[in-house]
Structure formats: structure tokens, C-alpha cells
Chain A
Amino acid sequence: MADISKDILEKIKKEKMRPYPKQYFLLKRSVVWAVFGLSIFLGSIACAITLFQLRYAQWDLYKHLTHSLTEFVLLVIPFFWLTFLLGFTWLAYYYFRRTERGYQYTAIWIVLSSIALSIIGGGLLYSTGLSEKLEFVFQENLPFYKKLQESKQKVWMSPEHGLLAGKIIKIISDQKVELKDLKGSIWIIDIADTIWRGRLRPVKDLKIKILGKMQAQNQFKADEIRPWKRRRGSGKKHYFRCIEKK
């Protein structure tokens, strides 16, 4: 009977085969760990922006939408970033399983640990203010992202529930302004007893959000006026300090 091992050894010698160098395996392992680490880091960024968006989601508005809290919650949840978080968690799982001993852990353990690490990382990034900066950068540079975020503002087109948004097109008097809402309808807004948030003042072309009461068709009494959106770098203290002209 032929000696298989001997034949293989001869083949190895004849073809001058050599074991792959140690560095090759070291590099391979390093790449796996690096991609795992990167996945956790990117997951942390997604988490940080999620925290930021949830923190400033103006939860007080749900009182005005009691007929559909679910709709409000669905509008507030940052699905865009949660999808990223899930994607990076899957990537982290995939690469962790490819580490030397990664297979010893169950899928659920790896996934939950990755999410926990991303949340911790996200919390740290959020506390440094990076999430706010990134949110601004994305909104300024990615038109689709800006559009996506603005679509969330449709909650403000609910005058029968006391919410209205649009642009001031005319200052009628100290107590009345004319507003073009997001759908293009014209409203007369009573601003006599209004609280202006974020140091806003009635200015033509100013885009605003209004909390108040619909008095009649195309007539609205404003109790509180908020800026359309926050500005970058203003920080938590200056969250509402913005006058946006469009």
C-alpha cells in the first residue's frame, strides 16, 4: 500500500512549498479585529445621533397629538440611524465570529454585547457634543438626509391639533402676521400673547413653528413660537437661539 504521507511530503518538497509567514496570520487577525472595532465605532456614532435626535425631539408636542401618540413616536424615532446601528451591529457580529475564539459565543451574546458597546460609545460621543456637529454636517452636505429630517416636521401641519409651521410672508401689525404654511396655504396669525422662543422676533421670511389654537378657517392664535430648526454649535444652552431666513 502506498505511503500517502510520504507522497505528500515529496510533493511539498518538489513544489518548494513553505508555510505562510507568521506576519500573514498576524495581519489577518489584526484586520478582523480592526473591522470589528470600526463597526463598533460607527455603531456608536449612529447611537450618538439617535440619542441627540431623541433628546431634542420636542416630546412636549405629544400633548397636542393625543389622537395619535403612535404616529408621533414613529415620527420621532430616528429609523435612519437605527438602521445604521443594526447594520454595523451585524458587521461587528460577522467579524467577531471570525476572531480566533469568537465562535465560542452565541449569536445573541455577540449582538447584545455589540449593541451595548455602541450605546456606551454613543453616550460618550453624545456627551462630547460630536453628535450635534455630525447632525449639522450631514444636514448641510447630504440633501437626501436634510429632506428626510424635514419630512419629520410634517407633524407641525396639524392646525386642528394646535400645531402649525410655515414662513412669515408679511408683518401686518404688532399683533398679526401673515404666514404661508408648508402646504402653501395662507394663514393670519394672532401673535398678541405669544411667547417667542429662542430670542425670535417677527421678521419677514422667517420660518417658524407655532403652538396655539385654530380660531377659524385660516386663522390661528399663536401661544408659542419656536424656531424652525436649531443651529450648529449653539449647544444645549442655545438650542433655540436661531433666526433662520430662507
Chain B
Amino acid sequence: MNDYKNMPDEQLVQLSLNNQDYFYYLMKRYEIKLLRYIKRLTTVSQEEAKDIIQEIFIKVYRNLNGFNPKLKFSSWIYRIAHNEIINQYRKTKLCSSIIPLNIEDEANLIDAINDSIEIDGAYENLETAERVRKALSELPDKYREILVLRYLEDKSYEEISDILRKPPGTVATQINRAKASFKKIAWRHQLDKELIK
């Protein structure tokens, strides 16, 4: 088992093609990450998130031969997850008004969006936290997702470009627009007085 822990994804992909059992280790590697990603972008319950992840892993397995080794496996699996979330969204309108980001996620996001935002202390105020949550949920889906990928999933511009299938320049532009859009919404919610120095 320890051998597989250090094995690169690409090698596990090759092994999975010959023996399904190896696919387990690949899934294990991404199970928590993708569950978290789904929860960050949607309002589904834990059970629904598990259903989505099952769909994702099955699609990944069926398409293993289509994986291009020039791409990072993590980018490829996130792309499949992104597409599956969109599919589910179209079916059931998963993204409702409030996105259930946890306090730590919100803090990380805001911290990354604007260095000048003061989050310590402000988060002790639950009312403020609720307003931050609302502000985030007001962001258009495309902006919310790009911020989540960049600042919560810690993906590089190139990786985001591979995941969302957009040119790297467009990714950079959208990140800037998403940040600007969040600042505007925060101002509207009068969060600037409490969060921004």
C-alpha cells in the first residue's frame, strides 16, 4: 500500500487499465479533495455529494484511455468533476442562494482576494460571517468557481486553464474580475467597514 502512496497518478492510471484494484488507490487520493470541491460549489447534502462523486469516478474510469499524459492527472479529474457539477446543476439547480463555505474557507478566500481585508476578529461576529457568506453566494457561478479553484483548491493559472478549458489569459482576466466583483458586493453589504482596513 505504501508503494502506491508515492506512486505518481499517471503510473496508477496505467496500472488501473490492467487491474481495476489499482483504481481504488487513485480514487482514495482524490475522494476527499473532490468531495470538498463539490461542497464548495454546490449546496448538496453529504449523500448527494457522494452520488456526484460516484458519477465522477465512474466517468474517470470509463475514460482512462482518453487521459492525455501531457496534462496533469489532477487537472483532468477536476475537469471531469467540473463538467459533472455543471451537468448536475442543469438537472437540479444545485447552486442555490447560500453557498455553505465554512468559516475557514471564507477567511482564506477573503484573505486571498484582498490582502487589506481584516478578517481576524470580524469572524468572531457571526452576523458578519453570515453576510460574507451571502456576499460570496451573490457572485456569478463562473466567478465563484474560479475563486474557489485559485484560492481554496490552490490551483495555478495553467491548471485552472486545463480544468475549465479556457485560455490562460482569460483565466487571469476572470480572476481579476471575480475579485473586483466580490469587492463590490462586499461594499454593498457594508462589509467594507467591518472587514476592510
User: Which residues in A have some Cβ–Cβ distance to B below 8 Å?
Assistant: 4-9, 11-13, 17-22, 24-25, 28, 97, 100, 103-106
- In the A-B complex, the 7 residue pairs with the smallest Cβ-Cβ separation, listed nearest first, are A5-B27, A103-B165, A25-B66, A19-B64, A22-B65, A9-B24, A8-B57
Using A4-B35, A25-B63, A106-B170 as known contacts, list a sample of 7 further A-B pairs with CB atoms less than 8 Å apart, ordered by residue number in A: A4-B31, A4-B54, A5-B57, A19-B61, A20-B65, A103-B165, A104-B168
Contact B166 A19 (CB under 8 A): no
Contact A4 B50 (CB under 8 A): yes
Which one of B15-23, B98-106, B130-138, B189-197 contacts A?
B15-23
Residue of A nearest to B57 (CB): A8
Report how many A-B pairs have Cβ atoms within 8 Å. 65
Give CA–CA (A186, B28) in the complex, Å: 90
Contact A9 B23 (CB under 8 A): yes
B167 on the A face (CB < 8 A): yes
Residue of A nearest to B66 (CB): A25
B58 on the A face (CB < 8 A): yes
Cross-interface CB contact of B20 among A13, A20, A100, A105, cutoff 8 Å:
A13
Give CA–CA (A18, B16) in the complex, Å: 10
B8 on the A face (CB < 8 A): no
Residue of B nearest to A100 (CB): B68
Give CA–CA (A22, B24) in the complex, Å: 21
Interface SS of chain B:
helix
B121 on the A face (CB < 8 A): no
Cross-interface CB contact of A8 among B58, B166, B167, cutoff 8 Å:
B58
Most buried by B among A8, A12, A18, A105: A8
Give CA–CA (A20, B66) in the complex, Å: 8
Give CA–CA (A18, B27) in the complex, Å: 16
Q: Give how many B residues have a beta carbon under 8 Å from the other chain's beta carbons.
A: 28
Min CB gap B39→A, angstroms: 14
User: What B residues does A22 contact at CB under 8 A?
Assistant: 65
Min CB gap B113→A, angstroms: 25
B188 on the A face (CB < 8 A): no
User: What B residues does A5 contact at CB under 8 A?
Assistant: 24, 27-28, 31, 57
Given A103-B161, A104-B168, answer yes or no on A9-B27 (Cβ-Cβ < 8 Å): yes
Contact A25 B27 (CB under 8 A): no
Give CA–CA (A192, B170) in the complex, Å: 69
User: Which residues in B have some Cβ–Cβ distance to A below 8 Å?
Assistant: 17, 20-21, 23-24, 27-28, 31, 35, 50, 53-54, 57-58, 61-66, 68, 161, 165-170
Give CA–CA (A70, B62) in the complex, Å: 59
Contact B23 A12 (CB under 8 A): yes
Min CB gap A106→B, angstroms: 5
User: What A residues does B28 contact at CB under 8 A?
Assistant: 5
Given A4-B31, A5-B57, answer yes or no on A20-B62 (Cβ-Cβ < 8 Å): yes
User: What B residues does A104 contact at CB under 8 A?
Assistant: 161, 167-168
Most buried by B among A5, A13, A25, A97: A5
User: What B residues does A12 contact at CB under 8 A?
Assistant: 20, 23, 58, 61
Give CA–CA (A7, B167) in the complex, Å: 37
Contact A6 B24 (CB under 8 A): yes
Contact B54 A19 (CB under 8 A): no
User: What B residues does A97 contact at CB under 8 A?
Assistant: 165
Can you sample 27 A-B contacts with CB below 8 Å? A5-B27, A5-B28, A5-B31, A6-B24, A7-B54, A8-B27, A8-B53, A8-B57, A8-B58, A9-B23, A9-B27, A12-B23, A12-B58, A12-B61, A13-B20, A17-B58, A19-B17, A19-B61, A19-B63, A19-B65, A20-B62, A21-B65, A24-B65, A25-B65, A103-B166, A104-B161, A104-B168
Residue of B nearest to A13 (CB): B20
